[in-house]
Amino acid sequence: MDREELRRCIHGFSLDKCKKGNQGFSRILIQLFGFLGHGKSAFINTCIYVLEDGEYENWAKAIEQDGGSTTERIPYKLTRNITLVDNRGLKNMDGYETGEIFAQLGNLLPLGKVDWPKGFELVDRITRAEKSMTTSDFIFPVFVHSVKKSISPEEQENMKKVLLKSRDLTGVYPIVVLTHKTSGKLTDTENVFRDMGMERIFSFENYTKEDHMKTRGRHEEVLKFLYEVIKDVEFRIEHRPQDPVKEIMERKRFVTRYIHECAKKAEQEKIELQRARDQARLQKVKRAQEEQISRQRERERQDRDMEMKWKQEELERGRQLQLARQNEELQAEVEKLRKKSKKKWRIFR
């Protein structure tokens, strides 16, 4: 299929044209998610630029330098029936932030500003948003990752869990979109995602403010990506009967359960942390007591040694005194004998 045909297919796509009808869906919501600053907004700009084929604009407010910026869930209408959603980026993949991302992916939170107060009051926000929930959106998850950022084994493990949970939540295997394709280890990154079980991986060099010279390769890649999304949605609607209202309720149950599990895990971790702290404190007290006992023993040993030394010196002094006395007596005896013998010789003479 050439570029123009692809473009016609994408523009003309309607869920009503699916073999088994629209099944209650009115539009595809391509939900972009991923870490902060990995190119979600730039990818939206790229898609609009390619599809409109006009002048480049920073529609999705991609940031001017690396970092994070999008704090709202903003929808960008790509065609009559396809909308891209720029979700708030993740800082890390801990239970709390992932709960937020699942709530966004599941379309359980309203579009617009996304406040992320620390804690698990997310369930309340989901309940409050219930009235404004749109059930007629077919949710399609797309995970955006920059090849410039390497993935540690620990991150890979967490990412895999999140990607598989997103599949369970939406019923669709997420497509992986790799950005900055010419500035990093593309093949290595692709392999990491393949190892996580991701089959559909697209890589892009996004059009940006600095580099938006139209190229056939980039244009075609984007059109192929959108065409793949359409074909996947058609396949799913045809092969898995859908009930949008039931689905959103299931998604709500899924996310609520996930949040509760995270809260339980966090509570358990808190208890274990407290237990570890108590144990450490006890160990410290025990160590201090042992040190005190050993110091006391050392002092007693030193006292005993001193006493022994003192007694030995005392004994030595007594012995020396006795020796000196015996010596004096001996000297006196010798003197007496000497005098006696002198007297004897004088008589004989």
- What is the contact surface with ligand GTP in residues (CB under 6 A)? 36-42, 62-66, 68-70, 89, 179-180, 204-206, 208
Residue type, 168: D
Q: Shortest distance, CB of residue 10 to ligand GTP, whole angstroms? A: 21
Closest CB to Mg ion among residues 89, 174 = 89
Least distance in angstroms from the C-beta of 71 to ligand GTP: 8
Which partner, ligand GTP, Mg ion, none, binds residue 42 by CB below 5 to 8 Å per kind? ligand GTP
Q: In the complex with ligand GTP, which residue's Cβ is closer, 36 or 249?
A: 36
Task: State which amino acid sits at residue 119.
Answer: G
Residue nearest to ligand GTP (CB): 89
H, E, C per residue of the chain: CCHHHHHHHHHHCCHHHCCCCCCCCCEEEEEEEEECCCCHHHHHHHHHHHHHCCCCCCCCCCCCCCCCCCCEEEEEECCCCEEEEECCCECCCCHHHHHHHHHHHCCCCCCEECCCCCCCCHHHHHHHHHHHCCCCEEEEEEEEEECCCCCCHHHHHHHHHHHHHHHHHHCCCCEEEEECCCCCCHHHHHHHHHHCCCCCEEECCCCCCCCCCCCHHHHHHHHHHHHHHHHHHHHHHHHCCCCHHHHHHHHHHHHHHHHHHHHHHHHHHHHHHHHHHHHHHHHHHHHHHHHHHHHHHHHHHHHHHHHHHHHHHHHHHHHHHHHHHHHHHHHHHHHHHHHHHHHHHHHHC
| Closest CB to ligand GTP among residues 22, 46 | 46
146 binds Mg ion (CB under 5 A): no
Q: Tell me if 23 contacts Mg ion by CB under 5 A.
A: no
* Residue 170 interacts with Mg ion (CB under 5 A): yes or no: no
* Partner in contact with 64, chosen from Mg ion, ligand GTP, none, beta carbon below 5 to 8 Å by kind: ligand GTP
Q: Residue 18 or residue 176: which is nearer to Mg ion going by CB?
A: 176
Does position 87 interact with Mg ion (CB under 5 A)? The reply is: no
Closer to ligand GTP at the Cβ: 46 or 107? Answer: 46
**Nearest-angstrom CA–CA distance, 283 and 178:** 50
206 binds Mg ion (CB under 5 A): no
Among 22, 41, 87, 146, binds Mg ion (CB under 5 A): 41
Question: Residue 62 CB, nearest distance to ligand GTP (Å)?
Answer: 4
C-alpha span between 226 and 126 (Å, rounded): 30
Q: Which residue is nearest to Mg ion (CB)?
A: 70
Side chain identity at 251, as an amino acid letter?
Answer: R
Q: Which is nearer to ligand GTP, 18 or 101 (CB)?
A: 101
Task: Please identify, using beta-carbon distances, which residue of 141 and 244 lies nearer to ligand GTP.
Answer: 141
Instruction: Examine residue 31 and tell whether it contacts Mg ion (CB under 5 A).
Output: no
Pick the stretch among 64-72, 139-147, 251-259, 290-298 that binds Mg ion (CB under 5 A). 64-72
Q: How far apart are CA 126 and CA 74, in angstroms?
A: 18
Residue 68 touches which member of Mg ion, ligand GTP, none, C-beta under 5-8 Å by kind: ligand GTP
Min. distance of Cβ 250 from ligand GTP in angstroms? 28
Which of Mg ion, ligand GTP, none has residue 36 at its interface (CB below 5 to 8 Å by kind)? ligand GTP
Q: Is 104 in the site for Mg ion (CB under 5 A)?
A: no
For residues 133 and 142, which CB has a smaller minimum distance to ligand GTP in the complex? 142
User: To the nearest whole angstrom, how small is the minimum distance from the Cβ of residue 256 to ligand GTP?
Assistant: 25
Instruction: Return d(Cα 138, Cα 234) in angstroms, integer.
Output: 11
Gap between the Cα atoms of 82 and 255, Å rounded: 25
| Length of the chain as a residue count | 349
Where along the sequence are the contacts to Mg ion (CB under 5 A)? 40-41, 70
